[in-house]
Amino acid sequence: MNFLDLLRALFALAFTIGIIGLAAWAARRYAPQLLAKLSAERGERRMTVVETLVLDPARRLVLVKIDDEERLLILGEGRELIEPRGSGAGVGADQ
């Protein structure tokens, strides 16, 4: 390996480290504004998780509010069960 090959390898290493440094500087300088634009709020969210309860290692209950209605979900074991609509309101109204 002669002197020119060594010089070329050192120049390539310095150039690569310089590009990495420039990318890191640009990310620190411009990434917060770019991420803020990309993750800008797209209006009010319609769905929120109200509460979760772990039943056992395989199952959990999740109370979800969609618009003004709360729904109970049972998640786990590769399937999801959703509480039927109006199950609580129909029983109390008849009695």
- Averaged over 11-36, what is the pLDDT? 88
Asked if pLDDT for residue 91 goes beyond 50, the answer is no
Helix (H) or strand (E) holding 41: none
pLDDT on residue 76? 85
62 in Cβ contact with 73 (< 8 Å): yes
Please report the pLDDT score of residue 43 as a whole number: 66
Q: Point out the domain boundary residue: 27, 43, 59.
A: 43
Q: Residue 60 belongs to what domain range?
A: 46-84
Check pLDDT > 50 for residue 37.
yes
Q: Is residue 42 very low, low, confident or very high in pLDDT (cuts 50, 70, 90)? A: low
Tokens found for residue 52: 């979760």
Q: Could you tell me if 63 and 49 are in contact, meaning their C-beta atoms sit under 8 angstroms apart? A: yes
- In terms of domains, do 50 and 66 share one? yes
Same domain? For 32 and 58 the reply is no
Residue 75 makes CB contacts below 8 A (sequence gap 6+) with: 59, 60, 61, 62
* Mean per-residue pLDDT over the chain, rounded: 81
Would the pTM of this model clear 0.85, i.e. be above it?
Answer: no
